[in-house]
Structure 1
Amino acid sequence: MALQPTALTPMEQFILFGDSITQQCFSPTQTFSFGAALGDAYIRRLDVVNRGLSGYNTTQALRALPFCIPKPEQAKVRFLALFWGANDARIAGSPGGPSQTVASEEFRRNLEAMVRHPCVTAHRNIRIILLTTPPIDERRNSKDDHDHYPGLGGTLRRTAMNTAAYAAAVRQVGRKLGVAVLDIHSAMLARAGHSLSDPNSTDDGTPLLGSMNAEANNTLQSYLHDGLHFSGEGYRVLFDEMMAFISQTWPDQMPTSLPMVFPAWDDETVWKQDEEWKEIKSKS
């Protein structure tokens, strides 16, 4: 097809919708940027859009969703990644700012409502990716929390076990709705040397990696700079897992399988056709 800019449709989108872990995924302060790497992988094929909302839980996210997803006539969404739970999993009643806690049952309902939201379903052939709530490291997270809220005492605002329960809830939603799940919680724990025999169980008889009851794990800690948010290494794991996940789930959607929206500069066939098209137009 000849190059006709007036006939080009807007670049389709790969939307990242999540909390602070998503919001920070383009940060230049990290040694590796997940958002930039994903955008580079899909450059000239899909626009990677960051809709991370720091501090939000899924109840707040549902209210924001209509303002974060474009209408089909504005832009087509090819991928929607939903990455929630880090704030929902905060221990109920824990001190330090307003409550962010959302009970696991309501958390599941909120995720289901996102997947079924009219603003999402309006996009035909949208590919939804549910990411499990990632693991935490209680030691690092406790230190960071106490630095910000000195009056906490020995209180933990998040625990590895409770967070694992929210990761399990995401898997449950995926199975119920038939939506693809990228299990970053299990992937990070496995890379750190801990693999649950049943990832949907929060207790297989051994202390969960990241908890105070387990030995400190240098690998897991290297993924979480404050015990909660991803370091550059954590974002590198996320990128590697995301690309492997897309390759396995939708191989035809890998960057190398998608055409560029604008042709390559050295695509002689297209540019020759374009010259022919302009010549025809000049004679008409």
Structure 2
Amino acid sequence: MQNILLLGDSLTEQGYENQWCAHLQNYYQRRADVVCRGFGGYNTKWILDILQSNQQEKIIPAHLPGHTLFCVVFLGANDAVSAEYPQHVPVDQYEANLRAITRILLEDVRPLHGVVLMTPPPIDQERYLEYVRRERVPDATTSSRNLETTRQYRNAVLKVAGDTPSTIAVDLYKAFLANLAEQPYQSRNTWSTPFFDGLHFDATGGQIVFSELKNSLPAQALPEKFPTQTPHWSTLTS
């Protein structure tokens, strides 16, 4: 059976909980297996380190190359954290890492319909600060993540996709923010309701992610273009 490789951080690792990965698997039911490689807390450097090491099979198992419809790369939310945190990766290095990850996937996985690069979604910095105070650091005074910085990483994804053959960009930043995408952060805006902590999706957010991904796919990559793994029951005889 064909497969689809998803590579990301906690936004992917939680993809069955928030349902965007589940929706994708259901969409390709009996036509392709979704291989979910979500690494909570990881940035592009740590993912690239795995891909460039003898541990690559943790991301690219032996059965994937030559049998993959497309790969999805969904990284950047952790790279964009404030510089004092170990997850932080400067935006220029983030862009270089993303290019290298994409190149490795194109060369080693050989996806039939290329690589889909999803931008980091927007961050509701006020809601995220509230979450941190409630769950981690009660006396925290500032958010380690902010919308303006995240926009820079989103723009880097669009740049990589724009000048790399066999790639498609999914602009989740704009999908959630709509006409607010180029505006300064606005507190308590309704766009952030699909994020249960200001960063991670709930089921409504997961549906938005799936819809944006689905709508970005080329016609030749849609499930109806591929046969089911087994025939319809009505063609069977007792």
TM-score, normalised on structure 1? 0.76
Contact residue 132 and residue 171 of structure 1 kept, 8 A: yes
- Aligned pair partner of 1:257 in 203, 215, 225: 225
Superposed CA offset, 1:28-61 (max 9, x none) = xx5xx11111101101100011100000000001
Q: Once the 2 structures are TM-superposed, how far is the Cα of residue 258 of structure 1 from its aligned partner?
A: 1.7
Distance in 1 of aligned mates of 2:84 and 2:145: 11
- Aligned pair partner of 2:89 in 76, 79, 102: 102
Q: Once the 2 structures are TM-superposed, how far is the Cα of residue 140 of structure 1 from its aligned partner?
A: 0.7
Distance in 2 of aligned mates of 1:103 and 1:237: 28
- Alignment of 1:116 with 2:106, yes or no, is no
Mark the CA change 1:74 to 1:238 in structure 2 (over 3 Å): closer, same or farther.
closer
Superposed CA offset, 1:126-166 (max 9, x none) = 521000111010111111122212242x2220000001110
**Secondary structure in 2 matching 1:181:** strand
Larger radius of gyration: 1
- Which position in structure 2 is the counterpart of 1:4? none
- Which position in structure 2 is the counterpart of 1:184? 172
- Aligned pair partner of 1:20 in 10, 21, 25: 10
- Which position in structure 2 is the counterpart of 1:35? 21
Q: Once the 2 structures are TM-superposed, how far is the Cα of residue 170 of structure 1 from its aligned partner?
A: 0.4
Q: Return the letter of the residue paired with 2:118.
A: L
- Which position in structure 2 is the counterpart of 1:201? none
- Which position in structure 2 is the counterpart of 1:84? 75
- Aligned pair partner of 1:216 in 188, 200, 216: 188
Aligned length: 230
Distance in 1 of aligned mates of 2:46 and 2:108: 21
Distance in 2 of aligned mates of 1:150 and 1:165: 29
Unpaired runs of 5+ residues, structure 1, are: 1-10, 197-205, 272-284
- Which position in structure 2 is the counterpart of 1:174? 161
Distance in 2 of aligned mates of 1:233 and 1:265: 34
- Which position in structure 2 is the counterpart of 1:93? 84
Contact residue 88 and residue 101 of structure 1 kept, 8 A: yes
Distance in 2 of aligned mates of 1:74 and 1:161: 37
- Alignment of 1:226 with 2:226, yes or no, is no
Contact residue 13 and residue 75 of structure 1 kept, 8 A: no
Superposed CA offset, 1:74-119 (max 9, x none) = 772211100000000001115xxxx1100001101111111111x5
Distance in 2 of aligned mates of 1:132 and 1:103: 16
Unpaired runs of 5+ residues, structure 2, are: none
Distance in 2 of aligned mates of 1:216 and 1:74: 45
Q: Return the letter of the residue paired with 1:260.
A: T
Q: Return the letter of the residue paired with 1:17.
A: L
- Which position in structure 2 is the counterpart of 1:276? none
Contact residue 72 and residue 122 of structure 1 kept, 8 A: no
Q: Once the 2 structures are TM-superposed, how far is the Cα of residue 221 of structure 1 from its aligned partner?
A: 2.0
TM-score, normalised on structure 2? 0.90
Contact residue 70 and residue 115 of structure 2 kept, 8 A: yes
**Secondary structure in 1 matching 2:155:** helix
- Aligned pair partner of 1:157 in 144, 154, 161: 144
Query: What is the percentage of aligned positions where both structures have the same residue?
Result: 32
After the TM superposition, list the runs of 4 or more consecutive aligned residues in structure 1 that deviate by more than 4 angstroms: 72-75
Q: Once the 2 structures are TM-superposed, how far is the Cα of residue 123 of structure 1 from its aligned partner?
A: 3.5
Q: Return the letter of the residue paired with 1:106.
A: Q
